[in-house]
Amino acid sequence: MPLRGSGLFPGLAIAALIALIDQVTKRWAEQALTLFAPVEVTSFFNLSLVYNPGAAFSFLAGAGDWGRWLLTTIAVIIGLLITFWLARLPRNAWWSVVALGLVLGGAIGNLIDRLRLGAVVDFLDFHWAGYHWPAFNVADMAIVVGAVTLIVATFLEDDRTPSSTHRE
């Protein structure tokens, strides 16, 4: 499939937009919030600046420098795989294109933090009855929404491309 008709350019545009929004909100959080000093927004939501050197749920947070570079390498590999996947998708597979663009944008946003700071900036803190969900950011939301959307896409999109259909 030629790149012109692929999902590459729309997917990359979505990824760039997500990464930009993610970085803008993280820079705002770093300037407006104080580390480990939550600002109550509602009874169940705080803005709370934290730096997570690990992955989801602080996985590998205590691993030191090797953990940082392992997570960086994984993000780069996944980013390349998603880029190749987008290049092979037809542009009209828009559920998958949007989903992959969201995941890629989130991965890029967190990768930028990891390279810039050695940790990911998190600042959205939801809690209830004394229990806190781990703090997260826009990139994390994009990754989760993208992953769920990709699952939905498997049910909504037809596997056949226009070139593989036939008439009887």
pLDDT 10s digits, 69-101: 787 888 999 999 999 999 999 999 999 999 999
- Which pLDDT does position 67 carry in this prediction? 66
Is pLDDT above 80 for 164?
Answer: no
- The band of 168, judged by pLDDT with boundaries at 50, 70 and 90, is very low
Q: What is the pLDDT of residues 107-131, one digit of tens each?
A: 999 999 999 999 999 999 999 998 9
Which pLDDT does position 65 carry in this prediction?
67
Predicted pLDDT at 165: 44
109/144 Cα distance (integer angstroms):
14
If one counts the domains in the chain, the total is: 1
Q: What angle do CA 76, 62, 45 make, to 5 degrees?
A: 85
Would you give the end-to-end CA distance of the chain in angstroms? 24
25-78: pLDDT as tens digits? 999 999 999 999 999 999 999 999 999 886 655 555 555 566 667 878 889 999
Residue 8 lies in a domain: yes
In a domain, 116, yes or no: yes
In angstroms, rounded to a whole number, what is the distance separating the alpha carbons of residues 97 and 91?
7
Positions marked catalytic: 122, 140
Residue 121 lies in a domain: yes
Query: In a 3-state reduction of DSSP, which class is residue 133?
Result: coil
Tell me, what's the pLDDT at 72? 87
34 domain residue, yes or no: no
The whole-number average pLDDT for the span 2-25 is 94
For residue 155 the two structure tokens come to 């049910």
In a domain, 35, yes or no: no
166 part of a folded domain? no
**Within a domain: residue 41?**
no
Domain range for 90 is 3-29+48-157
22 in a domain, yes or no? yes
